[in-house]
Amino acid sequence: MPNNLRDDLIDILEAISGAQLSTLRRLRRAPQEKPAASSSAPAKRMSHIDMAYDILRGAGHPLDGSLRRCATGRERSKGRLMVE
């Protein structure tokens, strides 16, 4: 191996090792932080139907153009439930 290539590799390894060492020292000095919860209650999981219902209710209007009434009185559009 040529001498200049060997020196270049050693320089690269030294720079990488120095960066890793400084990162480890910084992590050691940093105070341990606990992940903050957004609220005291655990997050409730939602089904896909519940998410779709919330989106449609939040929109305030059907998100699809052609509406028709189904037997249950709920609006359906191309098989999709529309919130009144």
Shared domain for 55 and 20, answered yes or no, is: no
pLDDT of residue 39: 55
Asked if residue 57 belongs to a domain, the reply is yes
Phi-psi region of 4 (alpha: psi -120 to 50; beta: other; left: phi over 0): alpha
Let me know if residue 24 belongs to a domain.
yes
39, part of any domain: no
Number of domains in the chain: 2
Q: Is residue 7 part of a domain?
A: yes
Give the position of tokens 């005291």: 40
Range of 71's domain?
Answer: 45-84
Asked whether residue 40 is assigned to any structural domain, the reply reads: no
Residue 38 lies in a domain: no
How far, in Å, CA of 59 to CA of 43, rounded? Answer: 23
The model's pLDDT over 6-64, given as tens digits with 9 standing for 90+, comes to 999 999 999 999 999 999 999 898 877 665 555 556 667 888 888 888 888 888 777 76
Query: Is 36 inside a domain boundary?
Result: no
Q: What per-residue confidence (pLDDT) applies to 6? A: 92
Which amino acid, residue 72?
T
Q: Residue 19: what pLDDT?
A: 94
